[in-house]
Amino acid sequence: MNYPRFPDYITDLPDNHSLKVYFEENEFIKRLLVELQMASPSEDFQKFLNVFNQVCEIEKRYARKENQLFPFLEKRGWYGPSQGMWSFHDSIRDILRAIRAQLENKEIQSLNENVRLLIENMHHMIHVEENRLFPNAFQLLQPEDWASMISGDEEIGWVDKNRRMSVAAEPSNTAPAKSANVFPDISKLKMDEGVLNLEQINLILKFLPVDVTFVDENDKVAFYNRGEERVFPRSAGVIGREVRFCHPPKSVDTVLRILEEFKAGRKDEAEFWIQFKGRVIHIRYFAVRDKDKKYKGVLEMSQDITEIQKIQGEKRLLSWDQ
């Protein structure tokens, strides 16, 4: 497939502008796909595995689009990418998982068809991005949108490690300053039990060993906690976003049904457990109601329970490793 050179509107952008990063990242992905096509798992399994592992970093790119670019496009009235393109992301993810399973099971002879599909689909994705998604985004989004996007992009990460380091290190004259990780000692806030200040509340939520997201009664994302190792990526672009756009299209009907049952008062909790990147993830939704039982939103909690599942018997003594 032939690709156009960078259009003028990309060439003239600052190096840390999200669109310029996307285009330059695509050049890196194209080179990886050539390496993947030329690598032979039967002749040099380790080389093929190394290249494939690099290709799997595409997840960071798709997560950035879903959690950063798409929300800003929604705010400007374009909802198509949140639906059609997200489904395409998931199709590519399915192929990556299939190849991973074949590699783990040493099913070398059956790899070729899935590798061909992967390369074909990723090339098509790049074509749609560069010829439709990115030009339209450039026209729709305002300078303040792109400025707000930079810190969230950094939070999720980039495919190319060298690019990740250079973008993260580059100062921005357009991005709003990231707030210092220090909170004022404001007046104590009376809780149901006890009192806390803003710093304490933020620290408690940060160190909870679960991902927490709160969606208000209007189905808008109002909060997520910034844990050190989140199960699922989140960035500031998700705040204020309609929750139906925060999930893969194949999951939207389930999410909407949960909200409907919670709002009607018929249900108060829903739970799921899934396999994700070789880990077992427990996902729970809780209806949040005030003292009069009026629906005020939904709390989503996701936790990696892989190690918890292995617990047996009892542990009553402290046994820290030295």
Quick one: what percent of the chain has pLDDT higher than 70?
Answer: 89
What's the whole-number mean pLDDT along residues 190-200?
A: 85
Say whether 318 sits in a helix, a strand or coil. Answer: coil
pTM of the predicted protein model: 0.67
Q: What is the per-residue pLDDT for 4?
A: 46
Quote the tokens at residue 279: 């880990």
Question: Following CA atoms 142, 71, 130, 164 in sequence, which dihedral angle do they give, to the nearest 10 degrees?
Answer: 90
Per-residue pLDDT, averaged over 97-116, amounts to 90
Residue type, 9: Y
pLDDT of residue 9: 86
The mean of the pLDDT values for the chain is 86
322 — pLDDT class (breaks 50, 70, 90): low
Q: 163: pLDDT confidence band, cut at 50, 70 and 90? A: low
Local confidence band at 113 (pLDDT 50, 70, 90 cut-offs): very high
Which tokens hold the place of 234? 């989140």
CB 196 within 8 A of CB 202: no
The H or E element containing residue 137 is helix 134-140
Question: Residue 313, Cβ neighbours under 10 Å: how many?
Answer: 5
Confidence of residue 156 (pLDDT cuts 50, 70, 90): confident
Question: How does residue 307 score in pLDDT terms, banded at 50, 70 and 90?
Answer: very high
Q: Report d(CA 35, CA 275) in Å as an integer.
A: 29
pLDDT tens string 203-262: 999 899 999 999 999 999 999 988 777 788 777 778 888 888 888 888 889 999 999 999
Residues contacting 41, CB < 8 A, separation 6+: 48, 49, 103, 108, 111
